[in-house]
Chain A
Amino acid sequence: MIRDGSEPDFPIRFYIPEYLYNFYGVFCLRPSCDPSKFVADVMKEIPPSGIRRFFDLVSGLEDVISLGVGEPDFITPWHIREMCIHSLEKGQTSYTSNYGLPELRDELTRTYYRRYGLDYNPSSEILITTGVSEALDIAVRTVVNPGDEVIIVQPSYVAYMPSVILAGGKPVIVSTHRDDEFSLTAESLKPAITDKTKAIILNFPNNPTGAIMSKEGLEDIADLVVENDLFVISDEVYECLTYEGKHVPLSSLEGMKERTVMLNGFSKAYAMTGLRLGFAMGSPEIIHSMMMIHQYCMMCAPVTAQVGAIEALRHGKDEMERMVREYDRRRHFIVRGFNRIGLECCNPKGAFYAFPYIGNTGLSSSEFAERLLDEKKVVAIPGDAFGEAGEGFLRCAYAASTNDIRKALDRMEDFVDGLKQ
C-alpha cells in the first residue's frame, strides 16, 4: 500500500517463475538448450543499441515532448500518397526489375543532371534500394574484404560501424570537432589512412551535427582519396536539407565519380521514411555488384514506394521546398533558443538536427538526456550514441512543431537552471 504517493511501506518483489527468463526486457519461455550458441561470433562484436533503454523509459510516460526523432514530422505530400494509392487501385503490386523501375531511374538521371550536371546512366549506374539502410549495407559488403580498414567519420549515423563489422572490415574512427563546425578536415583524416585502408564513409549534411562540407573542404578530402587510391561511400540522404550554401555531391568533383558510390533516398526530402526507398549511384562495376547482393537479399524495392518516388521527382519540388523553408525557420528558432538558455549551439547548416553542447553542465550526455526525460519529459538523444566524439552534446531534432520546440526549450531552460543551483 502506498500511503502518501511516494514510498511503499514494504518492498515490492517480482517473482519470476522458473520456466520464464528475462531476455532484453521481454519474458520468454526458457528453452531446453541455450540457442545463443547458434548466433555467429561476429554478432558479439556489435554493441547493443543504447536506444532500447530510452524506448523503455519513454513508453508509459505521458505529456512527453520528443526531439528524439530521426524523421520529418510532415506527412508524405498528398500528391505522392495519392499516386501510390492509384497504383494500388490499378493493381501495380508485382516485382520490378532488380535495379528498380526504369522510369524512376530515368527520373533520377534527369534530376541529378539538372541539379549538378552529374551524368549517371539509368541502365547501369543506378540501383533502387529499400531505404538508404539497405544501400549502405550492400555498398559496404560490395567493397570491403575481410581485414580491410574502413574510415568512419564520427559523430555520425549509427549504422556505419555495424555494417563494416558485419562485412568483416575493421572500422577506424576519425572525429570531427566543434571548432571546425563538425566538418571533416584533411589534417584529421590523413593520420588515419594506412596501407590497409580501403574506403571512407562520409555523411554530409550530417546526422547528428547538421554539419555540411564546403566545396573547398571536399576538394581537400578528394585529393587525399585519389592520392591514397581509396573509395568513398557517401551518404547524402540529407542533401536537399541544406540551408546555407549549396550542397556539393562528392561525385561531382574531378576524378571522384568512379571512386564514389552516392547513397541517397526519399525519406528526408519528401517525408517518406516508412515507405523505405533509397538509391545508390556509382560506376557500373560497383552498382552491378551491389545489385547482385540486392537481388538475393531484397529482390527489388517496394513497388508502391517506387511509384511514389517517381511522382516526388516529377512534381514534388514545390512541396519539398516549402518543407525545407519551414525547417529553416525552426532551425533559427531552436538554435537561438539553445544559446539563450546557455547551451552553446553552433549553427547547423543542414539536416534537421541541432547539436548543443551540454558539457559545461557537469553531466555526461547520457546523464543529461536521462535526467531531462525523467524530470522534464523531454526526449533528446545523447551525443555519444553517435560515437565518442559526440560526448558532451545532445542531438535535438527540430522536425517537430514550433509549439513543441518552444515547450521543450522552456522545460530545458528549467532543467538547466535547476542544475546551476
Chain B
Amino acid sequence: MDEKIRHILEILENDARTSPEEIASFTDMSAQEVSQAIAKLEETGVIRHYKTIVDWDLVGENYVYAVIELKVTLERNQGYQAIAERIYKFPEVRSVRLLSGNYDISLTVRGKSMKDVAFFVAEKIATLDQVQSTSTHFVLKTYKEDGVILHEPETIQRLPVSF
C-alpha cells in the first residue's frame, strides 16, 4: 500500500472529522491531493462509511444490546448470503457475521428493553424457515467498541522537562 494512502486511512479511522487541510498538514501532500485521494477511496469502497460512536447511556437512552447466535439450515440454491440479507434488513440488527464453529451466524441486536429484544428475536428471527435455533445473550456492559475504550483512562504523569 502507498504510504500516503496509509496515512490518510489511519488518520480518518482514528477521527473521521479530520479535514483534508488538517490531513495535508500531517503529510507532505496538499489539501487538494488529499481531497482527491479521499474521493477515490470513497468511490472504490475502501472507505465505506463515516460514523460516530455514541455512549447512549450518558444521555439516559438505555438501549439494550444482545448477541444472538443462530444455527441455520441451508436450502438448495440459497447460500448464507440470502439468509444474511433477510436478517440485516431489520434496523434492529446492528451487525451480522458468519462464523466458524458451533453455530453459524452471530447478530448484534439493539432494542429499547429486554422484552423488546426478546420479542424481536422470537417473532422475526426464530420464525425464519432457515433458522434452526437461536441463543440470546444480553450485553451487560460494553468496555470497548470498535477500538474505542468507553471510559476515561487514567492519565500518566510524565516529567514536563527531560533530556
A145-178 CB contacts (< 8 Å) to partner B:
157-159
The reply on A415 being an interface residue by CB < 8 A is: no
The reply on B102 being an interface residue by CB < 8 A is: no
CB pair B7–A58 under 8 Å, yes or no, is no
**Chain A CB within 10 A, most for which of B11, B159, B161:** B161
The residues of A that contact B11 with a CB separation of less than 8 Å are 329
The residues of A that contact B27 with a CB separation of less than 8 Å are 329, 332
A50-76 CB contacts (< 8 Å) to partner B:
51, 54-55, 58, 64, 66, 68-71, 73, 75
Which B-chain residue is minimally distant from A336 (CB atoms)?
B25
Q: How far is the CB of A94 from chain B (nearest CB, A)?
A: 28
The reply on B54 being an interface residue by CB < 8 A is: no
The reply on A130 being an interface residue by CB < 8 A is: no
Which B-chain residue is minimally distant from A402 (CB atoms)?
B26
Quick one: CB contact mask for A202-214 with B, threshold 8 Å, 1 for yes? Answer: 0000010000000
The reply on B152 being an interface residue by CB < 8 A is: no
CB pair B158–A379 under 8 Å, yes or no, is no
The residues of A that contact B146 with a CB separation of less than 8 Å are none
Q: Name the contact of A71 in the complex, choosing from B6, B26, B158 (C-beta under 8 A).
A: B158
Which B-chain residue is minimally distant from A51 (CB atoms)?
B161
CA distance A64 to B161 in the complex (A): 11
CB pair B26–A332 under 8 Å, yes or no, is yes
The residues of A that contact B7 with a CB separation of less than 8 Å are 325, 328-329
Q: Given A58-B160, A157-B163, A379-B161, answer yes or no on A325-B10 (Cβ-Cβ < 8 Å).
A: yes
Q: How far is the CB of A75 from chain B (nearest CB, A)?
A: 6
B1-46 CB contacts (< 8 Å) to partner A:
6-7, 10-11, 25-28
B120-154 CB contacts (< 8 Å) to partner A:
none
CB pair A68–B161 under 8 Å, yes or no, is yes
Q: Is the interface of B mostly helix, strand, loop or mixed?
A: loop
The residues of A that contact B163 with a CB separation of less than 8 Å are 51, 70, 157-159, 207, 381, 385
CA distance A275 to B27 in the complex (A): 32
Q: How far is the CB of B84 from chain A (nearest CB, A)?
A: 31
Q: How far is the CB of B155 from chain A (nearest CB, A)?
A: 10
CB pair B160–A66 under 8 Å, yes or no, is yes
CB pair A64–B25 under 8 Å, yes or no, is no
A332-358 CB contacts (< 8 Å) to partner B:
332-333, 336-337
The reply on A259 being an interface residue by CB < 8 A is: no
Q: Given A325-B7, A325-B10, answer yes or no on A70-B162 (Cβ-Cβ < 8 Å).
A: yes
Query: B: which residues have CB within 8 A of A?
Result: 6-7, 10-11, 25-28, 156, 158-163
Q: With contacts A68-B160, A71-B158 known, what are 16 further pairs, Cβ within 8 A? A: A58-B160, A68-B162, A69-B158, A69-B160, A69-B161, A71-B162, A158-B163, A325-B10, A329-B27, A330-B26, A332-B25, A333-B25, A333-B26, A379-B160, A381-B161, A385-B163
Question: Which 3 A/B pairs are nearest by Cβ-Cβ distance?
Answer: A329-B26, A70-B162, A66-B160
25 A-B contacts (beta carbon < 8 Å):
A51-B161, A51-B162, A54-B161, A55-B160, A55-B161, A66-B158, A66-B160, A66-B161, A68-B161, A69-B159, A69-B162, A71-B162, A73-B158, A158-B163, A325-B10, A326-B10, A328-B7, A329-B7, A330-B26, A332-B25, A332-B27, A336-B25, A379-B161, A381-B163, A402-B26
Query: A: which residues have CB within 8 A of B?
Result: 51, 54-55, 58, 64, 66, 68-71, 73, 75, 157-159, 207, 322, 325-326, 328-330, 332-333, 336-337, 379, 381, 385, 402
